[in-house]
Amino acid sequence: MEWSEKVVLVAGGTGSFGSAFLEHLIQKKPKAIRIYSRDEYKQSVLLAKYKDKDINLSCFIGDVRDKDRLNRACENVDIIVHACALKQVQSCEYNPLETLKTNVLGSMNIIDAALDNNVEKVLAISTDKAVSPLNLYGASKMCMERLMITANAYRGTQKRTKFCCTRYGNVVASRGTIVPIWRELIRQGKSVPITNVNATRFWIGMNEANKFVMDCLEVMDNLDGGEIFVPKMPSVKVLDVYEALTDNESQFTVIGDRIGDKLHETLISKEEIRHTVDIGDKFIIYPEEPHYSYRKPKGYSCGYTDGYLSNNNEKKLSVSEIETTLEENI
């Protein structure tokens, strides 16, 4: 892909992922980068940070719920990275209508804007919580994935737009996750809340997540659209994360499972395994019944016959390895 000819729009570009992803995107030196988000203060900080850089960067204030504004922002855009979402699990449970407006209706607006402007690629950021979801956040992301996959059938023969998704687990130390929350409680000398001492989670650094997304944008050139990209990533025991953060010097309190909590997370369900291929550093879940011209991606069979779960993952991090990732990401 010739990045120097591409105009890229990052929807949700001032969030945890978007602002970090921008660092990687700038290195590719695209023709132009557009940030689309609601927060004018974060946009001003972003523009100030890069004002002396030789890059065509602009910021659009707008909500993904506002279809007209989004459509205007997508004029002459080649690539959209869709990272807009309400993602705090408990907040989404308490604010279900707002969650659906952003995560589902907002994604529908992304699809329409991409098709109306004949955008080349749309890559949406999903989560392991979209697999067999137990909470509204996960359910809304599952809907987003289904919308993106099916959207490939809407392009017909006149549009070039490909829609794909990335799906990965917890990003180390991203806003609202257990690491920054626990670190603040530890600083205050308070007990650390743990839902279940046997819980496991997938674990990826922000830098690795950004590189993965950049790579998926490149891989899309050789695919027909509708794929979900899943990185091969390590798992951690939640209790080991606690130990890595505290050296067992702080107390923890078992608070029990909250609404929508899982003991273990799933990146690929048992049912999805049959239409998943292993291409070395990642898995590709391809559409099971595409309603458009489609070529199955080449690769090996996925070895996780019962699904790719955080507790059956071949790669699990030790406490010392978790400490290393924390040092790299904080």
Residue 207's pLDDT band (boundaries 50, 70, 90)? Answer: very high
Instruction: Show me where the domains of the chain are located.
Output: 3-170+205-232+267-307
Helices assigned H by DSSP within 124-237 = 136-151, 178-187, 206-219
> 3-state class of 192 per DSSP?
strand
pLDDT band at residue 327 using 50, 70 and 90 as cut-offs: confident
Please tell me the predicted confidence (pLDDT) of residue 246. Answer: 85
Closest by CA to 322, choosing from 254, 248, 237, is 237
pLDDT at 175 over 80: no
Q: Mean pLDDT over residues 202-209, rounded?
A: 93
Look over the chain and give the mean of its residue pLDDT values, rounded to a whole number.
Answer: 94
Range with top average pLDDT, 51-60, 246-255, 275-284: 275-284
Q: How many CB atoms lie within 10 A of CB 187?
A: 9
Closest CA to 170 of 159, 178, 162: 178
Active-site residue list: 129
Sorted by sequence, the CB contacts under 8 Å of residue 188 that are 6+ apart come out as none
Is pLDDT above 90 for 131? yes
pLDDT value at residue 318: 94
CATH of domain 3-170+205-232+267-307: 3.40.50.720
Dist. CA 6–CA 79, nearest whole Å: 7
Chain segment 224-240, per-residue pLDDT in tens: 999 999 999 999 999 99
What contacts 184, CB < 8 A, 6 or more positions away?
A: none
Q: What pLDDT, in 10s, does the model give residues 182-197?
A: 888 888 888 889 989 9
| Residue closest to 201 by CA, chosen among 126, 269, 264 | 264
End-to-end CA separation in angstroms for the chain: 32
Digit-coded pLDDT (tens) for 67-111 = 999 999 999 999 999 999 999 998 999 999 999 999 999 999 999
At residue 127, does pLDDT exceed 90?
yes
Quick: pLDDT tens for 310-326.
Answer: 999 999 999 999 999 98
Contact 115, 155 (CB under 8 A): yes
| pLDDT top residue among 129 and 175 | 129
**Which pLDDT belongs to residue 120?**
98
Structural contact between residues 163 and 115, judged by C-beta atoms closer than 8 angstroms = no
What pLDDT was estimated at residue 91?
93
Tell whether the model's pLDDT for residue 309 goes beyond 80: yes
The whole model's pTM is what? 0.95
